[in-house]
Structure 1
């Protein structure tokens, strides 16, 4: 009787342990569902290539000093770590996962070349683990809307816009054209119609992510449209590239600066922009166009904003620089040693 009881206890304990392990494994590996309003990065950062993404007190970024590999650091730029060996861009974060585009075609990325993993859309955990390739093939312009990833790719030698669920299922062609997917707002993508469309129409369009239906939202000759906090921003090509805003609630239109703007990033209450009117300079202003401050004389590229710092590169250089996003505009060189 005691032996039978002992075997029963042992068998029950083993079964309970197996059940616990299954539950733990399921909880660790399951892909949490996002709310429908979830986005993966700011429109401004994605317009600038998505090299930086801040989430949960961490910054995930592409390190130009280490073949653009995925790194993480705290928001104050401390505790720097390498997460994956991919050459990354268009970084998005939501919940427990990072999503990004990989482009490992450079000869320096030997491991990826040997594995044949040159291009694609990747999902990984916040520490770089649980690495999964969701889509193989050349990809760009990745963004997140709820539980749907939107990105540009190639199908039968034609540029298309894809969607795929964050769990890697239900890949579909959303649009038989490639657009800037950076500005996701309330389940819609707001974009300036690209020149590749073959028409002279460069109006701002709004496309529903769920079914690909679209409408012309604002007629005009526009570039780099984005929506931040219910305000549409765009570069007005017919008005000397003036950065212009339109309130989506009452359609109030405002020219924020008459400078010739070629690049910008709206972050909370400030806007960083590159102008090429006369002297070519990098500037900051309030989101209503007031308090314009010159930061740097010259051309810069890839403006990336986070809560504490805004990062950028000077034209023709991979050296990173930073300024305080809302404070002092003194430029600091930012170097990240290879991990």
Structure 2
């Protein structure tokens, strides 16, 4: 997916999220006071997945030596961190995987509303939670689930006993870090930091029109579109606001990125490249020649969506693929459980 397509997709999401639906989330009131265990959970910052994975459909998550992921049919599997012992967990069509507290959580791709399910990590005890939303995105933190529905942002206890509205209005592009939510407005491109505890909103940069965002070592890294075309650059800004600086000035357009320690991984022109933040030394991870979209990172693996146009069928098809961070293992899935080409 190129960056112009991504902007159009975000705009469509806003239209979709603002469309009335048979959902009780609109009736949820703000908390009279933020529950203490929610405050503790936010401060712990122990999430079921990373926000950048979730913004890229949450194809994979890592927990306790296992990686939970979807195949090309969006069915749920798990494997050891070394890539062995692949086991199917569910035939549901899955996105927004979270793994925490001995459970795997996901939204089921079904109609307009996407219900959140959970099951034990061995695949037993599947149950539907009381949470549904239209975006399909959510984040587990402690015993709580954070999610957006419409233009509002909510927190709900996993057992369904408590729900509350945290923020009345945000756009669809957000990440959470501790007690703060970072949100980029698609109307004016401004980047905001909003307290989930008080609702206090601070603009930290203007006119950035960021899509993917990651917080690392006191900086917020984000992709910025240049003149609404395919040309996209990676920038960073201190989380509390300050000067915006370009991180990679190679002239390369960056489509998706991930950060691990002091290393940035990014996709560009059919390749995944890694670069050291400190000295800007770069190294090619893999050159696939494929359109690498929706880049997820879990453990030592990347998962991504390879979309292509089939001339014979006259339609777009896709594979969910994986590759290790060192560039090995980059092959089309050839295991029986992966059906290959699917819409």
TM-score, with length taken from structure 2: 0.71
Partners of 2:276 and 2:168 lie apart in 1 by: 34
Partners of 1:163 and 1:46 lie apart in 2 by: 16
Partners of 2:55 and 2:203 lie apart in 1 by: 20
> What is the CA-CA distance between 1:144 and the residue it aligns to?
2.9
Residue of structure 1 in register with 2:200 after alignment: 213
Cα shift readout 1:51-110 (whole Å, capped 9, x = no counterpart): 10011100111222xx3122211112221222233211111122212222211349xxxx
Cα pair 2:70 2:320 within 8 Å, conserved:
no
Instruction: Specify which of 163, 166, 170 is matched with residue 171 of structure 1.
Output: 163
1:65-80 mapped onto 2 (5 Å cutoff): 67-80=73-86
> What is the CA-CA distance between 1:181 and the residue it aligns to?
6.4
> What is the CA-CA distance between 1:177 and the residue it aligns to?
4.0
> What is the CA-CA distance between 1:334 and the residue it aligns to?
2.9
Partners of 1:330 and 1:255 lie apart in 2 by: 32
> What is the CA-CA distance between 1:178 and the residue it aligns to?
5.2
Partners of 1:55 and 1:180 lie apart in 2 by: 26
Q: CA RMSD in A?
A: 3.0
> What is the CA-CA distance between 1:136 and the residue it aligns to?
3.5
TM-score, with length taken from structure 1: 0.72
> What is the CA-CA distance between 1:337 and the residue it aligns to?
3.5
Structure 1 stretches lacking a partner, 5+ long: 1-32, 107-117
SS for the counterpart of 1:271 is strand
Partners of 1:120 and 1:222 lie apart in 2 by: 30
SS for the counterpart of 2:282 is coil
Cα shift readout 1:239-285 (whole Å, capped 9, x = no counterpart): 8521112344895643222322232222333333233xxxx333312
Residue of structure 1 in register with 2:321 after alignment: 321
Residue of structure 2 in register with 1:151 after alignment: 147
SS for the counterpart of 1:73 is strand
Instruction: Specify which of 301, 311, 315 is matched with residue 309 of structure 1.
Output: 301
Residue of structure 2 in register with 1:124 after alignment: 119
Partners of 1:149 and 1:286 lie apart in 2 by: 33
Larger radius of gyration: 1
Q: Does 1:135 align with 2:135?
A: no
Q: Does 1:241 align with 2:232?
A: yes
Per the alignment, do residues 140 and 87 of structure 1 end up closer, same or farther by CA in structure 2, a change over 3 Å counting? same
Residue of structure 2 in register with 1:226 after alignment: 214
Cα shift readout 1:281-339 (whole Å, capped 9, x = no counterpart): 333122524314262334221211122221223223432333221x2367322345339
Partners of 2:262 and 2:102 lie apart in 1 by: 28
Per the alignment, do residues 336 and 207 of structure 1 end up closer, same or farther by CA in structure 2, a change over 3 Å counting? farther
Q: Number of paired residues?
A: 280
SS for the counterpart of 1:183 is strand
